[in-house]
Every structure is written in structure tokens, then in C-alpha cells.
Amino acid sequence: MATPRNHVPLAEQVEELLAVGGPLPIVAAGDPVLRRVTERFDGQLDPALLARFVEALRVTMHEAPGVGVAAPQVGVPLRIAVIEDPAPVPDEVRVARGRVPQPFRVLVNPSYEPVGSDRVAFFEGCLSVPGWQAVVARPAEVRLTGEDEHGHPVDEVFTGWPARIVQHETDHLDGMLYLDRAELRSLSSNQTMAERWTQPTPEEAAQALGFELP
Ligand code: ZN
């Protein structure tokens, strides 16, 4: 009888995952691993294996392409995510969304809390929900605490698009998908997005589809 997957030690599971090489397969919505609260990282992977895992997450994020990948999205229930956003967008989009470049970062055991009460709403998508985007209102500014990949403490305020990315990825580590927080009436296919909702803000979409903005 096969051992249930969740009884395989995490290090063994990660070794197996990395054995193939190249980008890792991304788990899609409906898989319970995306709905579990992940385990805090506490040395379950030795430093060499952690470094290989982080590199595989980076390659997977670039290949997708995406601006973040959380460990559960490759089937690993650990509190680790990577983010990076070169932000290749026109100036008016950059200004409206605060989409400034975010260098590569590893988030280990991250948590966030809102700074102030400002909320901002924009379309976002998720590699685990391919083909769709929806508007999510989120705190404009958050304080992120946790560690980096070397175990050094992190305590930093994020604003603009990077604040959205760290919230989205940290939510994954709590078993949450962006759809849990989305205005469902805004749900749009990638094709409809490209045809209709390329404006810097979702105001026109809110009027046409009938959802509220903060
Ligand atoms: Zn996601």
C-alpha cells in the first residue's frame, strides 16, 4: 500500500520534486495542498536543499511567468515563497498601480499586517487559477515580518504593487486564494481582460460589471 503523501518527510518530498530538474509543475485550484495552512519553516530542509528548492521556485516563477510563487503551489506545504517583478508596464499603469520593480526576494515564515486603513483595488491573477483574473481590494500598505532564506529577520513596510504581491503570496501560505478576497462580479477571462479591461484602474470594469470599489 502506498504511503499517503502527507506522511512522506518534507525533505524527501522536495528531493523527489527536484530530481527531475527544470521548472516545477504548478498545482491548480482544487488541490487540497492550496487550502492547508503551511508548516513554519524550521530547518525541515538542510541549507543546501533549501537553496536548491528556492532556486527551483525562482526558475518556476520565471518560466510561468509570474511575479511570485509560494511553496504550496508546487505541492510543498512549507511557509516559503519567492517574489520578483521586473514591472514591464507603461508609465500610466506604473503610476496608477504603484507597479515599481521588485527585486528577487525569498520570504520565509512571512506574516503581514495592514499599515493604516487605505485600501486599493486592482485586477490580479494567480498561476494556480490559470486563465482568469479578478479585482481584489487590499490594504495599500503592509508591514511584513518574517525571515529571509538565511534566517535573518525581516521587518519591512511594502507599498504599491509589491505590497499586493507579498499579500497574495503570504495568503497562499495560509491556505487562501485571491478569489477568497475578490469581487466575484469582476471575474474576467484573460481574453476578456485583453479585449476590455486594460485600463490602468478597474473603474470602467466596476461600472460595467456591477461591483464596488473601495
Ligand atoms: Zn497565487
| Ligand 1 mean position, distance from CA 143 (Å) | 20
Q: What is the CATH number of the domain that holds 123?
A: 3.90.45.10
> Does some domain include residue 204?
yes
Sequence-distant (6+) residues with CB within 8 A of 212 are: 183, 206
DSSP string computed for 173-191: HTT--GGGGEEEEEEEEHH
> Does some domain include residue 14?
no
Tell me, yes or no, if 169 is annotated catalytic. yes
Please give the model's pTM, rounded to 2 decimal places. Answer: 0.95
Total of domains in the chain: 1
**Catalytic residue (choose from 84, 124, 147, 169):** 169
> Does some domain include residue 13?
no
> Does some domain include residue 169?
yes
> Does some domain include residue 4?
no
What digits encode the pLDDT tens for the residues 132-181?
Answer: 999 999 999 999 999 999 999 999 999 999 999 999 999 999 999 999 99
> Does some domain include residue 152?
yes
Q: The domain containing residue 108 runs over which residues?
A: 25-209
What are the start-end ranges of the E strands in the chain? 68-70, 80-85, 102-114, 119-125, 132-139, 141-147, 153-159, 182-189
What digits encode the pLDDT tens for the residues 84-133?
Answer: 999 999 999 999 999 999 999 999 999 999 999 999 999 999 999 999 99
